[in-house]
Structure 1
Amino acid sequence: MTDSAKHDLHRYLKAGREALLWKLEGLSEYDIRRPMTPTGTNLLGLVKHVASIELGYFGDTFGRPSGIPLPWFDDGAEPNADLWATPDESREQIVGLYHRSWAHSDQTIEQLPLDAVGEVPWWPAEHRAVTLHRVLVHMATETHRHAGHADIVRELIDGAAGLQAGNSNLPDVDSSWLADYWQRLEAAARAAG
């Protein structure tokens, strides 16, 4: 693998990080925390989760633990404790955790070659051995997956949609066209159903 491949993977990871954080902008504390799906998916919880797992994949996996406490992963912690923010965990704390996660991960990415071998301790034994290349692919796709969740959650909260500030990645149409489009999709779904 070349340095350009590593650069490309890192660039996609960074884009996913920024997309995920952008979904918090302009929303109240309530809106970034409120569960928007039956499983409790919420924006700040997505950020907390991705920050936490990134620390594990780029830290512990390669023998570079961050030293940042993640009590939601301790033995006896509530299931899914990494997927929501308690009232005493502020937006600033969670976003700050994510930024510290980025810095730690970026050091690992910059210091190790793509073929550096690590071990993911929480994976089944036969799959634990990984390369930095595999972890970069995994985390870029995982981050974008959760950024996609955040896209939908944000749209449910206030109708805001799009890829990033200055690039909505959506067609330039007015709200009446969009309402008609939605009705056509609903009619097609009913006709097929």
Structure 2
Amino acid sequence: MTPNSHNPATDVAADRGELLRALAEQRELLLITVKGITDAQAIRRTVPSELTLGGIIKHLARGERVWAEILVRRDGELPEGMLDTGQYRMSGGERLSDLLEQYEAAAREIEKVVNELEDFGGSVRLPKTPWSPPEPEYWPVRRVLLHLIRETAQHAGHADIIREALDGASTTAQR
């Protein structure tokens, strides 16, 4: 192959790798915000919203598991627990270490699913939710990954603010 040749298979592999790498980088930035905190700190609210550091980790773990299921099933059915509002809160009986293990497992699961997709360039039928348009909606696999990257980055920013309000720690200094 000459340097100017175009190989679509290489493009797909490169896209897949770059998107997964970007998602992993956002996860790493998020995890900086929970370094060295206790369960009591992980459950503590420091902003007017219900968000806590533990709740963010729990929500993102659930989100990655749900999207992995959507990518595998592709049937438009609503995955179990997708609309569960409790996913945003760390309960008094939960431990941050367990939530972090769940997040790590969810990350491995979504990476495995994405790496095994034969039709990475294909589309996925989204589940019907209360806010969905009336007709079925489809997203390219790339958009699903871009959504996960955006969601993780957004919540990493929330976590940074929560951590700073919690104990004054600057997550940028912890990198």
Query: How would you bin the TM-score normalised by the shorter chain?
Result: 0.7 to 0.9
Distance 2:38 2:109 in 1: 29
List 4+ stretches of structure 1 deviating above 4 A: none
Give the partner amino acid of 2:37: L
Separation in 2 of the partners of 1:141 and 1:30? 28
Q: Give, in whole Å, the separation in 2 of the partners of 1:162 and 1:88.
A: 27
Counterparts of residues 170-185 of structure 1 (less than 5 Å): none
- 1:117 is matched with which residue? 123
163 and 137 in structure 1: CA distance in 2 versus 1, 3 angstrom threshold: farther
CA displacement at 1:105 relative to structure 2 = 0.3
Letter paired with 2:127: P
Q: What root-mean-square deviation, in Å, do the aligned CA atoms of Structure 1 and Structure 2 show?
A: 2.4
Structure 2 match to 1:58: 68
- SS of the counterpart of 2:27? helix
> Which ranges in structure 1 are unaligned for 5 or more consecutive residues?
167-193
Normalised by the size of structure 2, how large is the TM-score? 0.79
Letter in 2 for 1:95: L
Structure 2 residue aligned with 1:41: 51
| Pick aligned residue for 1:129 from 128, 131, 138 | 138
Structure 2: gaps spanning 5 or more residues? 1-10
In structure 1, C-alpha distance between the alignment counterparts of 2:82 and 2:140, rounded to whole Å: 26
**Superposition pairs for residues 26-175 of structure 1, below 5 Å?**
26-63=36-73, 73=81, 80-112=85-117, 113-123=119-129, 124-125=132-133, 126=135, 128-163=137-172, 165-166=174-175
Higher relative contact order (CA 8 A, sep 6+): 2
Determine which structure has more spread, i.e. the larger CA radius of gyration. Answer: 1
Q: In 1, Cα distance between the equivalents of 2:155 and 2:19?
A: 17
SS in 2 for 1:87: coil
**1:24-82 CA distances to partner (integer Å, 9 max, x unpaired)?**
11112111111122221110100000110111112234318xxxx97xx388x6xx311
Q: In the alignment, which residue of structure 2 is the partner of 1:191?
A: none
In the alignment, the residues of structure 2 paired with residue 97 and residue 129 of structure 1 have an alpha-carbon distance, to the nearest angstrom, of 28
SS, match of residue 93 in structure 2:
coil
TM-score, structure 1 normalization: 0.72
Cα distance in 1 between the residues matched to 2:172 and 2:26 = 10
Alpha-carbon separation, structure 1, partners of 2:122 and 2:34 = 34
Number of residue pairs matched by the alignment: 157
Q: Could you tell me how far 1:92 is from its partner in structure 2? A: 2.0
1:162 partner amino acid = T
Structure 1, residues 130-171: CA drift from partner, whole Å, max 9, x if none? Answer: 1211101110111111001001111111111234744xxxxx
Taking only the aligned residue pairs, the percentage that are identical comes to 26
1:11 to 6, 14, 21: 21
